[in-house]
Copies of this chain bind each other. A is one copy, B any other.
Amino acid sequence: MIKIIGVKEKCIEQIESLEDLKPEKYNIVWIDCYDPRDEELYKISKFLGISISDLQAGLDDQEIPRIEEEENYYLIIYRTPLLEEYSTSILGIFIKDNIVLTIHPEKIKSIERIYNIVITRNPNVFKSIGFFIYVILNEVTRSYSRILVSLEDELEELEDKIISGFDQKIIEKILHLRKTLVYFHKALIANRDVLVLLKRKYLPIIGKEDKENFEDLYYDTLQLIDMSATYREVLTSMMDISLSLENIKMNQIVKILTMVTTIFAIPMWITGIFGMNFEYMPLISSPYGFWLSFTFMLISIIFFIYVFKKMRWI
């Protein structure tokens, strides 16, 4: 799907198709292209004069974030989070003259949010190309932040659950969170490398005042990397702790089993002995025989309960 916006002196126009677009009429043109069909890709390629294989860098989920200065255009590859799936996807930003092309294989909420802001409200985000790129990257970075903050709540919750009780669902949850943090960490570190470049050696399209914005963004990303590292450590602690807790519980269960088996071993043996059918057995015809054996069994039971209490098993 392709959406096109042209900005002409603070006035925003939505353009239906690439065929209608005359870039020279506008200050800035934004083309957003999400999961394009082959023909759409072909059209864009033809319109911008960028080869399809180059464009596909923005659609290949395996690409790593970076900046490329080509002869006639700039390319920024950035990693964005996917809100619903706690995973990450790729976003390619091509800048050629006054045209900014954002291309991505997945629907990205941050892009949608900017699109809505642009249409419904002020066209301030189009102050300059540099600023517009900052707005995009900023929005993406803020969506990491949102997810990580919500992760913190989940972590707190998990911790309570681990101590109160531990089951397979919690483990699946931990597995899930850990994978998310692994992917986020990688994405953020790669994004940071992009921002380092943007804040240092400014591309010609990035003005001095934008550079400061990118510096802020850089620090925000450092924060997020820090957060994700801390969360992973906390998660590892949790796994260790939960393993220990499982072991403690196991010990207690096996203690119960051992106690029950031990306490009843001698009484059962006694009932076995007097259950034998020998003709000549001691006590068997004594009127006190039953009570004697019963008392002995009780003593044995009480003795072992006492022993286990002494050993602090109960």
Contact = CB atoms under 8 A, between A and B. Distances in A.
| Residue in A165, A190, A265 whose Cβ sees the most chain B Cβ within 10 Å | A265
A182 B230 contact: yes
Copies of this chain, complex-wide, total 5
Contact of A258 (B241, B256, B273, B289): B256
Given A179-B237, A182-B233, A171 B272 contact: no
Interface residues on A, range: 35 or more
A204 interface: no
Contacts of A244: 171, 239, 242-243, 246
A13 interface: no
Given A246-B251, A256-B258, A279-B285, 11 more contacts: A62-B227, A168-B248, A182-B237, A249-B251, A250-B254, A257-B258, A260-B265, A268-B272, A269-B297, A279-B289, A280-B286
A309 to B, nearest CB: 15
Nearest to A165: B312
A261 interface: yes
Contacts of A175: 159, 163, 237-238, 241
A201 to B, nearest CB: 17
A283 interface: yes
Nearest to A262: B260
Given A186-B230, A233-B182, A264 B269 contact: yes
Nearest to A293: B276
B285 A273 contact: no
Interface stretch (A16-24, A109-117, A131-139, A218-226): A218-226
Contacts of A257: 254, 257-258, 261-262
27 contacts: A62-B145, A62-B227, A64-B226, A163-B172, A165-B312, A166-B248, A168-B245, A179-B237, A182-B233, A183-B230, A190-B226, A246-B248, A250-B251, A253-B254, A254-B254, A257-B257, A257-B262, A260-B262, A261-B261, A272-B272, A275-B276, A275-B277, A276-B293, A279-B285, A279-B287, A280-B285, A281-B290
Contacts of A237: 175, 178-179, 182
A264 B287 CA distance: 28
Grouping DSSP codes into helix (H, G, I), strand (E, B) and loop, the A interface class, with mixed when no group exceeds half, is helix
A255 interface: yes
A287 to B, nearest CB: 4
A63 interface: yes
Contact of A277 (B168, B230, B262, B276): B276
A241 B171 contact: yes
A247 interface: yes
A284 to B, nearest CB: 6
Contacts of A63: 223
A26 interface: no
B262 A182 contact: no
Interface in A135-189: 145, 149, 159, 163, 165-168, 171-172, 174-175, 178-179, 182-183, 186
A217 B246 CA distance: 44
